[in-house]
Structure 1
Amino acid sequence: MPLPATPPRRATIRDVALEAGVSRGTVSRVLNGEPYVSAEARTAIERAVAKVGYVPNAAARNLARRRSQAVGVVVHEPHSLFLEDPNIGSILLGANAALSAADHQMVSLVIDSERDSRRVVRYLGGGFVDGVVIVSARRDDPLLAAVARLGIPAAVVGRPPGMPPVPFVGIDNRAAAQAITERLLATGRSRVGMVAAALDRDSGADRLAGFRAALGDRFDPRLVVERPLYAYGAGRDAMRELLEREPTLDGVFAASDVVAAGALDAIRDAGRRVPDDVGIVGFDDSVWALRCQPALSTVHQPAMDLGRKAAESVLAQMHGGAPQLEGVMLDTHVVWRASA
């Protein structure tokens, strides 16, 4: 049985100094960009670095500076939803783009349980990252309280109720939901319901509030079915329940595109046509909206920009900038397609 391969020895400053014929202190000054080194010594050291293959030990350097050059992005969602919801991926890509441009590493942390939450809090408190972006925080989320207590640079995507004073980046979910519901009503629909989801988050609660505002006196609480997550299965099952409650339903607002995709399949399974019998609209303008047949009318939210702005906020705080506690709000708009 072959023995495990021994990792190649890493070249050190001592190797560079021996090759260049100078002291380790002189090598250190050159590597740190310090003056007072002769041109001849600098040239010899640069040649020695190339010859011995020396690579600076970033971990040791960051330890000395008490910096990790890394920022955590915490996604508070079940593992299944992490893979199913394309908005999460877009937020992560936006955050990574901003961090990469600043020569920082993104560390993804997923919270799927209370145990995960405790583990992540310990990790953040251990100095492994210099700041944190939090996605999908809940109402009175203990993670937010822990981050505020730790005092590390942070930004939240969204603005959940009960949030401590932490910078945030978000959209006006209430106004956007009201706008698309009003557009749906303008097509002549008279019995309009909603598949509401994630009401423990600002996005879910505000979208329901916007739907209710659009309907005004016509709002019927029986025509709202709630589910805990933005998930395809949630939309499918909730839509079946909604059609059982109100067989004459002719319009529905689903709280997200992935929820709308599940709802649309349930409508078809019930023998109803979209948009002839039931018009349906979603929220996000994600890839799910174009996968649907017919294509889904929805609200476009700039998911990548949300991640990028949140990461930029954390980076600014890390470099001494004052936290923007008033938050940053990004624009949305209705995208009208064939589903309604």
Structure 2
Amino acid sequence: MVTIPGRRKRATIHDVAAEAGVSRGTVSRVVNNEPYVSAEARIAIEAAIEKVGYVPNTAARNLVMQRSQAVGLIVHEPHSLFLEDPNIGEILLGANSALSRADYQMVSLVIESDRDTERVARYLSGGFVDGVVVVSAREQDPITRVIERLDLPAAFVGHPQDLRDLPYVGINNRAAARAITERLIGTGRSRIGMIAAALDRDSGSDRLAGFTDALGDRFDPDLVAPVPLYTYTDGRDGMRALLAKDPLIDGVFAASDVIAAGALNALREAGRSVPGDVGIVGFDDSAWALRCQPLLSTVRQPANGLGQRAAESVLSQLRGEAPELGGILLDTEIVWRDSA
């Protein structure tokens, strides 16, 4: 008969106190980094902690404090895009670095369906996180209403029109899109179209608005190809649609770098050279911009910084500080390369 070894007993604060020859209260003050403990007692307790292998029970402490010491990162995108979009990855890393410095855990919550929405709403209502960073929220988003109802510390990356007074961090998508379209016009292009992605959220609709601003009277709505998501496949399909509408198109603003990469593929299929026949620009300055051939002219947005500032906003609210009124806008810049 095989004997299965039992689970090793977890060392407790009582074990530390017995080993150090002090009271449990004194050990507790050292563990919680509180004052009123002599140097001799602190040295003895730290040695006892090491000897007995004591690890503080964070879950029990958080239960007493009614804090989870966790912040959720809610991403409203399909699972595949969550893994493939470098901007989401940079936002995630930026948020995690800020939370890590504050000794908070980040919990990733991906919403792809109504079922996901219901699940995440229950999770937030259960108090499993102390606050949330929300990425890619749309208008009329039920999770936004849950956050409002719970009065949960939150910061949004982006600014849906119905966000009301909730804090957000973002960029001026409209001004950046206008600036790079004007730069494209300055290269002498006369038939300029746009592959406009994600028009159901502020980033997509604002980039289309900036494109429209730049073209003014020359704007042709027939040279806008709407696509659902910021994906390579949508970029390829959007470019094919533009070429079908106007084979002589000579300039394209792609709503993201990955959209531009897909568009370049479609242009090669059609035998069109870049930038000889068609100049193309993107948005993000993500890793995709440097994978493209030729290298992509684009707008650099600070995705990592957006994640950091959003997480810092949530942490400041958890400390009882009021969020910045009007949101936080970070700077962008045009990076001009060979594609236009």
Query: What are the within-5 Å matches in structure 2 for residues 224-235 of structure 1?
Result: 224-235=224-235
Structure 2 Cα separation of the partners of residues 107 and 314 of structure 1: 14
TM-fit CA distance, 1:44? 3.5
Q: Deviations over 1:4-27 (max 9, x none)?
A: 664322101121223233443343
Q: What letter corresponds to residue 150 of structure 1 in structure 2?
A: L
The amino acid across from 2:304 in the alignment is: M
For residues 296 and 330 of structure 1, what CA distance do their matches in structure 2 show?
22
- How much does 1:324 deviate? 2.0
Superposition TM-score, scaled by structure 2 size: 0.96
CA distance in structure 2 between the partners assigned to 1:87 and 1:289 by the alignment: 12
Give 1:144 shift.
1.0
Partners of 1:44 and 1:334 in 2: how far apart?
A: 59
Residue in 1 that maps onto 2:192: 192
Match of 1:256 in 2: 256
Residue matched to 2:268: 268
Residue 316 of structure 2 aligns with which residue?
A: 316
The 2-side partners of 1:274 and 1:63 are apart by 60
**Corresponding residue SS for 1:134:** strand
Q: Deviations over 1:192-244 (max 9, x none)?
A: 11100000110000000011111111111110010111110000011111101
Within 1, Cα distance between the matches of 2:161 and 2:267? 33
SS at match of 2:179: helix
What's the offset of the Cα at 1:127? 1.4
Partners of 1:5 and 1:241 in 2: CA distance = 66
Structural mapping, 1:1-340, within 5 Å: 6-35=6-35, 37=37, 41-340=41-340
Report the Cα distance in structure 2 between the residues aligned to 1:194 and 1:2, rounded to whole angstroms.
69
Contact 1:255/1:282, CA 8 A, preserved across alignment = yes
Q: What percentage of aligned pairs have identical amino acids? A: 71
Judged with a 3 Å threshold, the aligned counterparts in structure 2 of structure 1 residues 27 and 262 are, in CA distance, closer, same or farther, namely same
In the alignment, the residues of structure 1 paired with residue 299 and residue 40 of structure 2 have an alpha-carbon distance, to the nearest angstrom, of 64
Letter aligned with residue 296 of structure 1: L
Secondary structure of 1:225's aligned partner = strand
- Aligned-pair distance for 1:3? 7.0
Contact kept in structure 2, 1:148 and 1:164, CA below 8 Å = no
Q: Distance in 2 between matches of 1:118 and 1:15?
A: 44
Q: 1:10 to 1:232 in 2, by over 3 A?
A: same
* In structure 2, distance between residues paired with 1:6 and 1:248: 75
> How far off is 1:38 after superposition?
5.5
The Cα offsets for residues 271-300 of structure 1, whole Å up to 9 and x where unpaired, read as: 110110111100000000000000001001
Give the drift of 1:39.
Answer: 5.5
Unmatched tracts of structure 1, length 5 or more: none
Given the superposition, is the C-alpha separation of residues 29 and 252 from structure 1 closer, same or farther in structure 2, using an over 3 Å criterion?
Answer: closer
The answer to whether the 8 A contact 1:168-1:325 is kept is no
Deviation at 1:164, TM superposition (A): 3.0
**Unmatched tracts of structure 2, length 5 or more:** none
d(CA) in 2 for partners of 1:57, 1:330:
39
SS of the aligned residue for 1:339 comes to: coil
Aligned residues: CA RMSD: 1.7
In 1, Cα distance between the equivalents of 2:233 and 2:270? 16
Within 2, Cα distance between the matches of 1:220 and 1:2?
78
Instruction: Tell me the CA shift for residue 36 of structure 1.
Output: 5.2
